[in-house]
Amino acid sequence: MYQINTLALDDPKRSAWDAFVDQHQDGTFFHLCGWQLVLQQSMGHPTYYLYATEHDEIVGVLPLAWVKSKLFGNALVSTPFCVYGGAVGAPEVRRALEQKAVEIGRELGVDHVELRYRDPQDNDWLTRSQHATFGCELAEDDAAILAGIKKNQRALIRKALQTEMSWHLDSDNQDFYAIYSESLRNLGTPVFSKQLIDALQQVFPTQTEILTIRNGHEAVSSVFNFYYKNQVLPYYGGGKPSARELKSNDLMYYQLMCHAKKDKNCTFYDFGRSKLDSGAYSYKKHWGMQHQLLHYQFKLINATELSNLSPNNPKYQLFIKMWQKLPLAVSRWLGPKLAHYLG
């Protein structure tokens, strides 16, 4: 039988945890144990990072965090603020870790346990597939990367390349956070605290990077990226209102693809998840990338049905319209107090 353990922040097994994630084909950047520190210190969420051992060797991991709110529910999630999660290991190890997660969920009195798997699982959990993830292999050079993008999207990029806009790598996150928080306000979505970005840069200094497009001296588009296993994942991105006319977002993602291939030796571009039939989903389809349906799984504990926190839920439409009208300073102050629970 496997022994199930809980990882502590000073646990000597932390390096073995990451080594296991590095070596396993299902291990993602979001399974790395550094996220435990990020979630606890920047967001204040209790964590339950489970690992299974056999003969004192790690054979499976399951990162979990407890997100509890009177407004948005009470859940044990793998993993909040991350697009991928769930247990990693052989099928029988995953089932053992899932069972332990259910036991912890019952002890905590959560509404449900949520595991954000990429692929279907052979278990009795409820599966909800409302998101798809997009991606593509990175071609050999800038010209080949551009040629691989769908015709209409390629035309927008070419138009942007003819301007004097330039791209830059920023170590300071001030411009990024200003652009991203304004972009989310305009979408009617609360932004998380800047502390989350600070923590990610501190915990993953070599695996995070900010790429910014400037029109003259003005930063107009910016994206916060993760690098892992020869893949680049543009995770948090946005543009100023002028970005649509300038096509600076299109230029930003293209320049990121070229930079990741040429300077980071990346072979795959992970364009991240989008909700089916959303604006972001349509935008990514225009790039011509392959997409994969995600299989998020749930085990109801105290809830009798799953809640619907989607922005497409009609009951949130008034909130979204009101949020879009907030002054930026107010949205940046109030947003983190809500986004803290919208992982």
Length of the chain: 343
Q: Has residue 82 got a pLDDT over 70?
A: yes
Query: Rounded to the nearest 10 degrees, how much is the dihedral formed by the CA atoms of 114, 75, 30, 21?
Result: -70
CB of 246 closer than 8 Å to CB of 214: no
Position 313 confidence tier, pLDDT thresholds 50, 70, 90: low
Position 309 confidence tier, pLDDT thresholds 50, 70, 90: low
pLDDT at 310: 62
Per DSSP, the residues of 309-337 read --TTSGGGHHHHHHHHTS-HHHHHHHHHH
Q: What is the mean pLDDT of residues 98-105?
A: 98
138-177 confidence digits (pLDDT tens): 999 999 999 999 999 999 999 999 999 999 999 999 999 9
Q: What is the mean pLDDT of residues 321-328?
A: 91
The CATH number given to 133-290 is 3.40.630.30
22-31, 44-53, 57-66, 311-320: the lowest-pLDDT one: 311-320
pLDDT at 312: 63
Domain boundaries, the chain: 3-129+294-307, 133-290
In three-state secondary structure terms, 76 is strand
Phi and psi at 85, nearest 5°, equal: -170, -150
**Cα–Cα distance, 109 to 74 (Å, whole number):** 8
Burial of 20 (0-12, 13-18, 19+ CB in 10 A): buried
Q: Is 277 left (phi over 0), alpha (psi -120 to 50) or beta?
A: left
Position 307 confidence tier, pLDDT thresholds 50, 70, 90: confident
The rounded radius of gyration (Å) of the Cα atoms in the chain is 20
- The reported pTM is 0.93
CB of 186 closer than 8 Å to CB of 143: no
Q: What is the mean pLDDT of residues 6-12?
A: 95
The closest alpha carbon to 112, from 123, 91, 95, 126, belongs to 126
- b/e for 283-301, b at 16 or more Cβ within 10 A? bbeebebebeebbbbbbeb
User: Which residue do the tokens 């392959």 mark?
Assistant: 290
CATH 3.40.630.30 fits 3-129+294-307, yes or no: yes
